[in-house]
Amino acid sequence: MVLFPPRFKRNMFLSTSDNHLSCTDAGKSPAGGGGNLQSAVVLRAGGAANKPWMPRIWSGITLGPWLKLLIRNRFRIAPSRWPMALLTTFFAFLITTPLAWIQRLIFGRRIRRQPLVKDPIFVIGHWRTGTTFLHELLVLDPDHTSPTSYQCFAPEHFLVSRRWLGRLVERLIPKQRPQDDMPFGFDLPQEDEFGLCLMGAGSPYSTLAFPNHPPQEQNYLDMEGLSPQQLAGWKDKLVRFLRSVALQTPKRLVLKSPAHLGRIATLLELFPDAQFVHIYRDPFAVFPSTLNLWRRFYRDQGLQRPRYEGLEEYVLHTFNRLYRAFGRAKSKLKPGQLCEVRFEELVVDPIGQMRRVYEELSLGDFDRLLPQLEQFVNSRRQYQPNRYDLPEFWRQRIVEEWGWFFDRYGYSKDPGLNREQPLTAEAAKEGRSSSPA
C-alpha cells in the first residue's frame, strides 16, 4: 500500500527548469495529446457562456506585470486574440496603472501599517474538490472575511476604484462561473491566487494567458527551487494584498487557493498560527472536472487558441506535486491547526461537518451560525453539478498515478460507484445539500 505520491517517471517530463514544465510524447495521450483520445465524456457541464464583451481576468492588471507576461512569452499572441491583448494594454496604461499609483499615494502608508486581526484560515485542496463551497461556508461567520472577486481581479487599486469602476464593469460580468453553475459576483469570496497573479507575484495562473506554451511558474506550486529574492517578493506581495483587504474589512481572513496546498511550509513562515482546512474528493470526479476547468480558462482567458496538448498528464502531475509538498508540511502543523474534510460527507451533511471543523479548530460558538448556514445551504438546493464519464484508459491512468491517494483516503478504485448524492429539497431542509467543487 502506497500512502504518498510517487516521484514521477523520468521520461514523462523533460525538465522543470526555469519554472516551466515541458512534456514529451511520453507525457501525452496515446492519440497525440490535446484530447484526440477523449479523456472524459461530458454528461452535463454548466457555466456561463463566453461573450466577447465580458471582462477577462487580465482586465485589472497593471502595466508592469502585463508587459512582463507578454515579453516572457515573446508576444506570441494568436491573431484572433490581439483585440483582447490591445484592450488589456489600453486599460493597463490609461486606467489601472494610474489607479494603482493613486491607491499607493492615498493608502500606501496605512496598508503597510495595517495589522491582520489574526493569522488567516486557509481552505486548501486540489481544484474541483469543494474548496469554493467550504470557503463560502466559513465566510458566513460574522467574525470572518475573505478577498472578494473585485479585490482579487483589481488587487492594486480596489480601494479607490470599487465604487465607480467596479459598478461600471459589474454590468458586463456573468452571473455564473465559467466552469459550473456556481454564482459569480464582484462581492462574493474569491481565490487570492488571482490577485497574486495580477500583481506579478509568481503564480501558475500565468499559464492561462499562453496555454500553448509550457506551463509557467510551476515552482510556485510548492515554492521549491526559488531564489531568496523570488521567495521574498512573493511573500511581500501576498502580505501587501492581505493588508489591503484587512484595511477595508478588519476581520479574520479566510483564504482559498488550491495552490496553497503545496505552500504550507512557506505560509507558516508568514503566519505561524494559521489554521488549515483540507478538503479532498473522489479522484475519479476530480480528474475530469479539473480538465474541464482548465479547458474553459484556456479558451476564455488565453491569448492563444488553445491546443490542450499534454493537459491530462499535467493534471496528473500537478496533483502529485501538490500532495507531495502537503505530506512533507503536515509534520510542521501543531494540534488544532489542521482539520480534514471529505467532500462527499460535506455534501451529505454540511451542518454536521462545519460543526466538526469549528470544534477541531476551536473557532468559537458554532450555534450562532446556524441560521445563516441553513439559509445558505437552502439557497444552493437547485445547484446541478457537472457530470462526466471516464473512458477506461483514463481510469487506469488515474489509478496508476494516484493509487496512493485512493489508499490513503479510503476511496474505492472501482469507478462504477456513484458516491456523490444529488441535491434534493428534503436534504436542504435537513441542512444537507449537494454542492459545487
Q: Examine the pLDDT at 5 and tell me if it is beyond 70.
A: no
Nearest to 387 by CA among 413, 418, 428, 425: 418
Specify whether the CB–CB gap between 22 and 13 falls below 8 A: yes
Binned at pLDDT 50, 70 and 90, residue 29 comes out as very low
pLDDT tens for each residue of 61-109:
999 999 999 999 999 999 999 999 999 999 999 999 999 999 999 999 9
**pLDDT above 70 coverage of the chain, percent:** 79
Q: Give the pLDDT band (50/70/90) at residue 53.
A: low
Q: Between vectors from CA 259 to CA 255 and to CA 263, what angle results, nearest 5°?
A: 85
Residue 58 · residue 210 · CB < 8 Å: no
Residue 424 has a pLDDT of 37
pLDDT over threshold 60, residue 37: no
The predicted model gives 231-260 an average pLDDT of: 98
Taking each helix axis as running N to C, give the angle between helix 392-409 and helix 283-301, from 0 to 180 degrees, rounded to the nearest 10. 120
**Of 290, 281, 282, 293, which Cα lies nearest the Cα of 313?**
290
What is the mean predicted confidence (pLDDT) over 364-380? 92
Q: How confident is the model at residue 211 (pLDDT cuts 50, 70, 90)?
A: very high
CB 110 within 8 A of CB 268: no
- Least confident stretch, 46-60, 192-206, 350-364: 46-60
Residue of 280, 192, 283, 289 lying closest to 244 (CA atoms): 192
- State the average pLDDT over residues 202-209: 97
pLDDT band for position 168 (50/70/90)? confident
Report the alpha-carbon distance of residue 318 to residue 300 in Å, rounded.
Answer: 22
Assign 14 a pLDDT band (cuts: 50, 70, 90). Answer: very low
Give pLDDT tens digits for 303-334.
999 999 999 999 999 999 999 999 999 999 99
Quote the pLDDT of residue 388: 79
CB neighbours of 100 closer than 8 A, spacing ≥ 6?
62, 156, 157
The pLDDT of residue 22 is 36
Cα–Cα distance list, 187 to 28, 89, 151, 166 (Å): 40, 25, 9, 10
pLDDT at 132 over 90: yes
Q: Answer whether residue 356 shows pLDDT above 70.
A: yes
How crowded is the C-beta side of 114, counted as CA atoms within 13 Å? 21
Local confidence band at 281 (pLDDT 50, 70, 90 cut-offs): very high
Q: Identify the pLDDT of residue 344.
A: 95
Is the pLDDT at 18 greater than 60? The verdict is: no
What's the pLDDT band for 394 if we cut at 50, 70, 90?
very high
- The helix-helix angle for 350-361 and 370-379 (nearest 10°) equals 140
- Indicate the SS3 state at residue 361: helix
What's the rounded mean pLDDT across residues 188-211?
A: 96
Helix axes 370-379, 131-139, angle to 10 degrees: 140
Walk me through the domains of the chain, giving residue ranges and CATH numbers. Answer: 52-429 (3.40.50.300)
Identify the three-state secondary structure at position 320: helix
The pLDDT confidence band at residue 171, using thresholds 50, 70 and 90, is confident
C-alpha cell at 385: 453539478
Q: What is the mean pLDDT of the chain?
A: 85
Are 3 and 404 a contacting pair, CB within 8 Å? Answer: yes
Q: Residue 432: pLDDT above 70?
A: no
How far apart are the C-alpha atoms of 239 and 218, rounded to whole Å? 21
pLDDT at 230 over 90: yes
Q: Indicate the pTM of the whole model.
A: 0.86
List the Cα angle 332/333/337 in 5-degree steps: 165
Q: In 7-104, at which residue ranges do the beta strands (DSSP E only) sit?
A: 13-15, 22-23, 41-44
Alpha carbon distance 433, 353 (integer Å):
12
